[in-house]
Amino acid sequence: MDFESQQGVEKKEKKARISTEKTKKCFSHIYKNIHCGKIINRV
Position 11 scores a pLDDT of 92
- Are the C-beta atoms of residues 29 and 19 closer than 8 Å to each other? no
Rounded CA-CA distance 18/26 in Å is: 12
6-26 mean pLDDT: 85
Where is 26: in which H helix or E strand? helix 3-28
Name the residue ranges covered by the structural domains of the chain.
3-42
Rounded CA-CA distance 35/19 in Å is: 17
What percentage of the chain reaches a pLDDT higher than 90? 12
- In terms of pLDDT, which residue wins out, 21 or 28? 21
Q: Which of 27, 31, 32 is nearest to 41 (CA)?
A: 27
pTM of the shown model? 0.43
